[in-house]
Amino acid sequence: MNRSRRGGRKPKYSGGGGGGGNNGGGGFNPNRTYDSSGPEVKIRGSASHVYEKYLQLARDANSSGDRVMAENYLQHAEHYYRIMAATAAQQAQIQAQQAQNRASQQPANGEGQQPAAQPQGGSAPSFSLAEGEAHGEEAEAS
């Protein structure tokens, strides 16, 4: 019985430790598409697209006064932020390995000593709803 719409089964992990740039099977794919079935919404896209969409939904829910749904959307956004961070760390590791491989193949003239670029600036995300919005709406509603 084949339940997948896309055809045959793919291995989750292609074994072997050598590496060499072949990312077939279950390897690293920064352009992976995610299907997210969140509360009351389905979102499809890259991790960064899904993250941005959940942040926007959280802002919208907060501005309409639904704090519980806003927090739910923020938790979904945080999940995709963590996926983005893990992908960035994995990409940096791959770039460092590639730079090390290039340095070991070239004569030692100092060119291979540059560190890999970090895609993340090191700043932590803000998952709060306090981005320029007025506090005290709850007091007015009572």
Residue 1: CA count within 13 A, CB half-sphere: 1
Residues 6+ apart with CB under 8 A from 115: 96
Q: Over the stretch 112-133, which tens digit does the pLDDT of each residue have?
A: 555 555 545 556 666 767 655 4
Give the pLDDT band of residue 109 (cuts 50, 70, 90).
Answer: low
8 Å CB contact between 51 and 84: yes
Q: Over the stretch 29-80, which tens digit does the pLDDT of each residue have?
A: 777 889 888 888 899 999 999 999 999 999 999 999 999 999 999 999 999 9
Query: pTM for this one?
Result: 0.56
